[in-house]
Amino acid sequence: MTSQFDTLDLAPFEAVIFDMDGTLLDTEAVFRTIVFEVCDELGYVMTDDVHLSMVGGSHERTNQLLIEAYGVAFPYTLFDQRCRIIMHERSQSGVPLKAGARELVSDLKARGIPTAVATSSRNPHAQHHLGAAGLLDLFETVVTRDDVLNPKPHPEPYLTAAHRLGVAPTLCLALEDSHTGVRAAHAAGMQTVMVPDLVHPSEEIRALGIAVMESLSHVHQAAFRRS
C-alpha cells in the first residue's frame, strides 16, 4: 500500500541535521527495556507514561521527571549510572540503525550536502554509539549535551549545529523522532520533519506545521525525488 507521505515535497535545503537516538539509531526500544529493568532493580515501578515522557529529553529533564514521578528520594545518579553501564554492555556488538539511515546519510555525503547530529546525549555516549553504528565519520560535526548550555527543547543544539556547518538555520532540514526535539528544531527556524519512533505526533506538534514521515527512507525519497 502506498504511504500517504510518498508525495510530500520538501523545500530546498543546504544541510541536514539529525537527532540521534530513535532517529538515526534504533536504540530507544533497547533503552526502554533497560529503564524498566533498572527501576525494578532499585525498587521502583516504571510505567509507560513516565518512560514516554522521558524520550528525547536531557539528563536534567529526566531527573526532574523521575523525581516528580517517584519523589525526591529517587536515586537518579545511581539510576543514570546503571542505565549507561548496561546500555554500553548491550551495544558492544554494534548499534542497530533505523530504516534508511545509512542510505540517506551516505547519499547526502556523496552529494556534498553537509550533515550534523544534534543530540541530548552526552559526548561519550554519542561518540560510542555513532562509532559502533559506523556512522561517526559521515558527519561534519556532532553537537551533544556537553556542547550547549541549554538542551532541547531549547533551539541551542540545532543553532549550534547550523553554526558549525556554516549554513543558515532556515536552510537546514532537521529530522527528529521526539516532541522535545521537534520543538527545538522548529524554534531554531528549521524545516522540521518528525519521523516517529516510540512517540507519535500530538495535535500540538502537528499544529507547528511539522511534516511527519514514516521512515528515513521516505525522507530520502522526498528529498531527492526531482534529482
Among the listed residues 19, 147, 177, 197, the single catalytic one is 19
78-99 burial code (b ≥16 CB/10 A, e <16): ebeebbbebbeeebeeebebbe
Three cell numbers written together for 181 = 526535539
Q: Which of 6, 21, 48, 146 is catalytic?
A: 21
Contact 130, 159 (CB under 8 A): no
DSSP type of residue 27: -
Residue 197 annotated in active site: no
Q: Where are the alpha helices (DSSP H) in 45-170?
A: 48-54, 59-70, 76-90, 101-110, 123-132, 156-165
How far is 109 from 81, CA to CA, in rounded Å? 35
Q: Which residue has the cell 533497547?
A: 30
Relative to beta strand 141-143, strand 172-176 is: unpaired
Query: Is 80 annotated in the active site?
Result: no
**Which residues belong to the active site?**
19, 21
